[in-house]
Structure 1
Amino acid sequence: FEMPHPRFNAQLAVQDDVLYIFGGTFEKADREYTFDEMWAIDLGKLDGCKEIFRRELEDWQGSEDEDSEDEEDDQSSEEEEDWDASETASTAPTSVSQDTQREAIELEDEAWNSEETSALTDTLPHPRPFESLRDFYSRTSVQWQEVVVEQLSKATGSAAKSVKELKKAAFDQAEEKWWDCREEIFALEDEQEQAGIGEVVSIADKGGDGGLGGVGRR
């Protein structure tokens, strides 16, 4: 079945579930065409438009075949551009993720190398970037207790302290070490933040939120 040409200002009427469309105006460029025709649509069946009468327009140039082809070409070009954009978007996160992982590994290696270098003159445990005081002590508590026991043994010849006193002394030394290293750790944290990897480096060592007076990041 043939569909009526697009138009505006058409007169509409409904009778016995049939929609009647009469007249209407169509504009193209600087020309205006007024239709002299009537169409009917059965609203119950919706099986197309039926032409009641139609008078051909003089000097009719309203065919949209060429315009439709141009629109289809434009639409095709837009779809291709959208496809290219979506392909780029879908591959970009993977690439960024891989680069981020490599940077994280490199920075972690640098952090460990720095810790190992410091250990040449200081054998005490060192905090890691983005590691709170609670996490630092939890990771190194046994080592700090051993340090306290060794210090007591050298000073008094025995380690006569209760478990509670031993843990308190170990924590005090761990806290002092944590604060002493803040400037060095802050520098490493800044490097990692500038690389856009945040807490990726230390995520394997973090078991929860910041703790016990600790400041994960500035």
Structure 2
Amino acid sequence: MGKKGKREKKGKGAEKTAAKMERKVSRRAKKEEEDLEALIAEFQSLDAKKTQVIESSCPPPSPRLNGSLSAHPEKDELILFGGEYFNGQKTYLYNELYIYNIRKNSWSKVEIPNPPPRRCAHQAAVVPTAGGQLWVFGGEFASPNGEQFYHYKDLWVLHLATKTWEQIKASGGPSGRSGHRMVACKRQLIIFGGFHESARDYIYYNDVYAFNLDCFTWNKLAPSGIGPAPRSGCQMATTPEGSIIIYGGYSKQGPKSEKRKRRRGRQAEAEGAGDEEMEKQSPQGPVEIVKEVVAEDGTVMTIKQVISGPAEEKERSESEEEEEDGALSQQVEPCPRSNAMLAVKHGVLYVYGGMFEVGDRQFTLSDLYSIDLHKMEEWKVLVEMDPKAQEWLEESESDEEDDDMEGAEGGEEEEESSEEESEDEEGEEQHPSVQPDEKHADYLSRTEQYWIKLARSNMGPDAKEKKVVKVAHAMAKTFYEDSV
């Protein structure tokens, strides 16, 4: 009886430990979300200073991936919004809006007041209503160190004729997510799949939502038949008959611990090619990839693709290889890439940006190519780029040691890395300096009122005091970490 009691006691102890760990993870997840909300609010306070529409000619946008490229429904233009860029040490998020004039082969940047917060891995869809509308849903915001993520569940519309952004607030929509897909079909926006990550969970979705463009209401759909498994980064398109086709995608059990691999995995989730698939790009023999295509009515079709490996390629004759090399030397085509932005206008496919990796280095692109889908004869280079000219900052050994220590300590929270410096500077304004050997807590206590006053001036008199204090603390911490 005594031994049984000990076993029961031991079991209760394990339950308490698990419950304690769950509470700790929940607190960490909540803090991460609050930290990112404060950082997002800080960026929005800077955007709030824009009071008028400014459209100006500009060079091609900076390198980026996981943005959206959409064809204007009435004009010969492409619309580029959002995206991200990683230079080896820091992640940058964008909410810039660029217009590409197809006929003139020229770019312009359009600054519009009250834009959506910075994001990547969102979805955009255009409809011809009232001179054209660009609808944007979801996506994510990443902390500068690329370790924390905030998933949006907001819905925005850009009225192209008047160049105004509007946030549409309607209840009953999808949860926050990125890597999902959205198409416009029969006066509705249809959203499928995606994923959500926090310190608490890692979830893939296969739910389907419809937003009615006439009455501005959400409806969760329950299609009949056997639906696709949960996934992100799939391809989704409408047919002339009004059906929706879903193809491929990406899913995995949980996040990877090492930072670089985690970024690769997350980027794959947004576009549908994971680390495991990257390894298959150089197979040693024939590889059969089986994909499923699920139509709206539940019909499932299977597509098999066989990739030949080096063993089969060696069997080709030398003359065939010479002919192929000669043909390739005369052709121009985009380099291999993932997470690029695509749009089709008048039967022409446009490919912008994306990234490819060489070893541990990530090259982010800003080139633009086009190909006529009716002829499929050749690629045209509309914007060139030399990836070798791109900045790349390697992680220091101390950074790698910190990552190793964090893993060894079982993922203990590193509170002082939750907020990083803002991409936008505060101009030439002189902030209270950090005294020698001054701790962060002491600096914040000494200068808190200054930062609250600055945050209030940026956010306006209507901002809630709690949010103002969060932004003020984020700004103070950013300045402190830059100074020490």
Same topology, TM > 0.5: no
Structure with higher RCO (Cα < 8 A, 6+ apart): 1
Over alpha carbons, which structure has the higher Rg?
Answer: 1
Pick the structure with more strand per residue: 2
TM-score for both structures, normalised by structure 2:
0.18
Pick the structure with more helix per residue: 1
